[in-house]
Chain A
Amino acid sequence: MMLFLQTTLNGLVLGGLYSLAAVGFSLIFGVMGIVNLTHGVFVVAGAYGALLLFRHLGIDPFIAIIPIGIVLFAIGYAYQRTIIHWAISRASLVASLVVTFGVAMILRNLMQLAFGPDVQTITPSYSFTSIALGPLQIDLVRLVALGASLILLLVLALVLARTQFGRAVRATAQQPLAAELSGLSVQRLHGLTFGLSAALAGASGAIIGIVQPFSAASEVAWTLNAFIVVVLGGIGSPAGALVGGLLLGLINAYTAQYVGPSLTTAMMFLVLVLMLLVRPQGLLGNSFGESR
């Protein structure tokens, strides 16, 4: 029983990270219908950014979230306004799948050249402190990581629900043409959404860097995780990402504990395949679904 509870706790903590890492992917998918295969690169880039800031300037990864977020926001905005926009206007929406994949290959290779193929971790002084919740053990770092993820998700949800910007983004997602006619600059909003998504991915990367080892090659896994989270939870909303992420974390933890650690990938994809066949819009559905 204790083992089960501990596994559940580990799964939920892991799931919080998955949620944050996936929410940007989910936003882009919901607003523009683009599957951004570069997403994992943004996550890993965030982790490398936090590593550099920590090693050379001694900046704590949780504070590094802010500069990393700003830089990645700019990169994401520029990326959408140039390459993604060109690809969609010249070819098709499916072409964006191939273009983002091509860009991911280029960036992964560049990261490998810059940082080497070795697996890295960020180890601040507090990374081995753990606290006890009754009989359960939890790393302090993981608890703080979970808290930071939840706060960022909450902020995003509030931005989308309450602000003028959030309303504009939702309007563009539901009816791009009508939004354009009402005087919104859809192009600019798409760029801003992409920037926001990249910033969130970078922030999650900075947190992931403390909790898990990473390398340039792990971008593939983070892109796939994001996709699975979206398929499980539902497209476009922070709530969907949270549900999907927590579920994925639990699946991961239970499989590793009760079936075998080597089968986690198989189980994750099995759930993905089954979910796509049964309910492809995810548990919470597509929050911008009216137009699609």
Chain B
Amino acid sequence: MKKPLAILTGIVVLAVLALLPLWLGPFYTRVVQFFFFSAALALSWNILGGFAGYWSFGHTAFIGIGAFSAALFGMNVGTFGTGPVSMIVPLLVAGLVCGLFAAVIAYPTLRLRGIYFAIVMLGVSQVVSELVNNISWFQGGVGVFLTSPVPSGVAPEDFYYYMFGGLLLLAFLITLLIKHTRFGYALLAIREDEDTAMMLGVATERYKILAFVLSAVLVGLLGAVYGYSVGYFTTYTVFRLDFSLNMIVFCLIGGIGTLFGPIIGTAVMLFITQVLLSRFLDIHLLITGLIVVAIILLMPGGILGALSRSRRSSLARKAEVQP
């Protein structure tokens, strides 16, 4: 797609999405809002897992840390401003805490590769969640509050629709920026062959840590806003294994390491599970598992990978016909 056309399409899509809640009705606004949240999570995971090839199985740790930092800050320090303005400081705190935590654990954990990194992140998320749940200061067992920032006269689902939409846009723009800069190329080099990249002078360590921190900060912000949207939450509302797994599954289905893959994957998966199968809750796991297995076996590159492969082969066929 040519650049002006792409920008024009982007603006049209944004305008449509911005006006969508007007005729969607509360239920579907909530569905789309959850789609924004999940897609933004998948995009953030994709920075580390897709581009750098470091699959984290414990990114839900940052959802939890973000949500709890925002809430504990509000409860211990106080609120600044009212309405939407009151979100600014807690969100900054959430992003900062997540970034710092990621920076601290990045150095030791990123020395591990492949399956070991995946599992150590799972371990980190479990340890953090158990500590939050059992150390009384964190109040993870009893639950914490975030005062609603929704201004009067605005429906909460509309407010969070735009909040999560904005965060999705932010995650998308950051991904776009990464993909087309030196940073993105460095991450791809790390994914393809880390030792060679290091030998050729790519500062692998620094780029990996940066990708990890960036991914963690984005997930932390999403976690904090998620905390606001539920208002009251305990440890297990935000530290959820299925959040971690969904990020991976959504990326995998759309096409890992691509720009649109995580968004497409989230849309397809949520459409199947939330809309088509919303009445068959007892076989949700079964369906999700079947889709995951089928995707790996039938189209290992995800939906985008399969599309680009079929386009390439049809181009090749055309080239054969016209010598």
Contact = CB atoms under 8 A, between A and B. Distances in A.
Contacts of A266: 126-127, 130-131, 134
B147 interface: no
Interface string B265-289: 0000000000000000011111011
Contacts of B177: none
Contacts, number: 109
Contacts of A86: 297
B296 A87 contact: yes
B300 A269 contact: no
A108 B300 contact: no
A185 interface: no
A272 interface: yes
Contacts of A277: 108-109, 111-112, 120
B118 A97 contact: yes
A62 to B, nearest CB: 32
B188 interface: no
B120 A113 contact: no
B154 to A, nearest CB: 39
User: Main SS of chain A's interface residues?
Assistant: helix
Contacts of B122: 224, 269
Contact of B286 (A87, A106, A262, A263): A106
B290 A106 contact: yes
A272 B120 contact: yes
User: Main SS of chain B's interface residues?
Assistant: helix
Contact of A108 (B120, B131, B285): B285
B103 to A, nearest CB: 16
Interface in A233-292: 260, 262-263, 265-266, 269-270, 272-273, 276-277, 280
B300 A95 contact: yes
B123 A265 contact: no
A278 to B, nearest CB: 9
Contacts of B108: 277
Interface of B: 55, 108-109, 111-112, 114-116, 118-120, 122-124, 126-127, 130-131, 133-134, 241, 245, 248-249, 252, 282-286, 288-293, 296-297, 300
Interface of A: 35, 83, 86-87, 90-92, 94-95, 97-99, 101-106, 108-110, 112-113, 220, 224, 227, 231, 260, 262-263, 265-266, 269-270, 272-273, 276-277, 280
6 contacts: A95-B296, A99-B293, A106-B289, A112-B285, A262-B130, A270-B123
The 9 closest A-B pairs by CB, nearest first: A105-B289, A266-B130, A102-B292, A91-B300, A106-B289, A109-B285, A109-B286, A102-B293, A269-B123
